[in-house]
Homo-oligomer: A and B are copies of this chain.
Amino acid sequence: MPPQSTSALSHSDHGVLAQVFLNSQAASGARPQLGAIQSYREHQEIYSETGEANRFYKIISGVVRICRFLSDGRRQIESFHSEGEIFGLEYGSNYTMTAEAASDCSLLVYRRTHSDILSVNDPQLSQELLSFAIRTLSRAQTHSLVLGRRSAIEKVAHFLLECANYSKGGKTVIVKMGRSDIGDYLGLTIETISRTLSQMERDRLISLTNTRQIELLQPEKLKEICGWY
């Protein structure tokens, strides 16, 4: 099913990139690089590892997961992205990762080739892209650190704190994805995720209000478990 395309009425609420893009479009007038809004349903593929990397996206709403599949069917989730974040910038001419909607979401789409991205005729745009790329890189590095850790409890503790940072909802974390997504993100099975969360609850570290709603009772202890922060 192709994504549903909507007319791009007002981009004014969607940050610098939207505006920059529109400005550069108006200014140059050359190639018609459309910054359209597209909607995707949960589980729908946005692009796949084989596709030509001719566009990137900024999230208006929803959660997107970036992942890669192995020949035996296993999946590694590299990152989750939510509102305001950019994804889809890649080095070569083809995507090396797959992007999927982890929830229903709507996206701003930018049609650009690799060389367009690197072209310098839009300094403001390239500045935002660089800033974004460095931020994403930082997150990828932290993710590597988590995956390299030995124990399950350290990984899960980090995941909870990461979610808490994100949602800024204080000590109550709303996990937007299922156990399967968490497992593929942390390199653990769903059984281990579940067991670890149960153990944490027994240890009074957290309280499982709901399957997807977790209260952090002792965030400091969780940070200790992580070994950094």
Contact = CB atoms under 8 A, between A and B. Distances in A.
A135 to B, nearest CB: 5
B96 A138 contact: yes
Nearest to A67: B145
A134 B134 contact: no
Contacts of A72: 227
Query: What interface size band does chain A fall in?
Result: 35 or more
Chain A interface helix/strand/loop/mixed? helix
A148 B90 contact: no
Contacts of A84: none
Contacts of A150: 187
A137 B76 CA distance: 16
Contacts of A136: 137
A145 B96 CA distance: 12
Interface string A170-188: 0000000000000010110
Contact of A130 (B96, B97, B129): B129
Contacts of A118: 127, 130-131
A214 to B, nearest CB: 22
Contacts of A134: 89-91, 117, 133
A127 B137 contact: no
Contact of A137 (B137, B145, B187): B137
A138 B91 contact: yes
B227 A145 contact: no
Best-buried of A71, A130, A142, A148 by chain B (most CB within 10 Å)? A148
A70 interface: yes
Contacts of A66: 141
A148 B138 CA distance: 18
7 contacts: A70-B227, A89-B134, A90-B138, A117-B134, A120-B123, A123-B123, A140-B140
Q: Which 7 A/B pairs are nearest by Cβ-Cβ distance?
A: A120-B123, A148-B187, A147-B147, A140-B140, A70-B227, A133-B133, A76-B148
